[in-house]
Amino acid sequence: MTAHPTTSSIPTLSPVSARRDIPNARRVVVKVGSSSISGENAGQVNHLIDALAEAHSRGTQIVLVSSGAIATGLPFLKLDGRPTDLATKQAAAAVGQNVLVFRYQESLRRYGIVAGQVLLTAGDLELAENRANARRAMERLLDLRILPIVNENDTVATEEIRFGDNDSLAARVARLINADLLVLLSDVESLYTKPPSEHGAEAIHDVAFGDPLSSIEFGGIGEAGVGTGGARTKVAAARLAAGAGTPVLLTATGLVHEALRGADIGTWFAAGPPEK
């Protein structure tokens, strides 16, 4: 087994301004949705980890923002669908988060990579002291070559203080740690001008910084089933990250290898000037 780089051997890599720069990124946040890694798609966990481990082995610091705690917990509570009441959601998350992180760690073990669980609430990133604590913990994990797995702390979060979706959480984490790139993985390979199942839908290759995307008919990506985010939430998250200086690639979970190798796929959101 090849030894992984130590902190001192991680190169100072170039900024990411286009897809071709992705293999040279120093720090990448990858977000995966519930529908991509739970239920009948639970087998995609190994595929995802293979791609993350490949990037990790070349020195890139990887943070995984993973949905799926509630969806993973449902079978253990003998529930057929996503609950609507907060208490049952919290119970499902408490069970599912444990199982989800175990699955990730078992897959990472093949590469000698250790995961670190980080659970956040919206308040953790809104209050200055809590935000500083979260940043310090994340930075230390990355310095130690740990792969942080981040999720919203659904067990304690209330409806009033939730991020709302993990796309938003991922964008805020990317902003928190000054990531070079945010990759949003979903069920389809790119953003479309309208729901991809509709006639005339066209894939969008590039989105310039500040583009209002006024011609898009939102809908489609992950809006049914166990997930909570759709195309609109992904665009909002991409704008949040891009506004803080982090470019965003939106593509399908099945294409994560190609994405992290810099292939010309998905929808690229160009970033604005970095935050000072």
pLDDT digit string (tens) for the chain, length 276 residues: 444 444 434 444 457 999 999 999 999 999 998 888 877 888 889 999 999 999 999 999 999 999 888 888 999 999 878 888 888 988 998 999 999 999 999 999 999 999 999 999 877 888 899 999 999 999 999 999 999 999 988 777 655 445 667 899 999 999 999 999 999 998 889 999 988 888 889 999 999 999 988 878 875 444 434 444 578 889 999 999 999 999 999 999 999 999 999 999 999 999 998 876
Q: Was 211 annotated as part of a binding site?
A: no
Q: Is position 6 within any domain?
A: no
Q: Was 38 annotated as part of a binding site?
A: no
Q: pLDDT value at position 4?
A: 45
Q: Is position 110 within any domain?
A: yes
Q: Was 166 annotated as part of a binding site?
A: yes
Q: Was 168 annotated as part of a binding site?
A: no
Q: Which domain holds residue 222?
A: 13-269
Q: Is position 50 within any domain?
A: yes
Measured distance CA(170)–CA(19) in Å, rounded = 19
Q: Was 67 annotated as part of a binding site?
A: yes
What's the domain count of the chain? Answer: 1
Q: Is position 7 within any domain?
A: no
Q: Was 154 annotated as part of a binding site?
A: yes
Q: Is position 4 within any domain?
A: no
CATH number, domain at 36?
3.40.1160.10
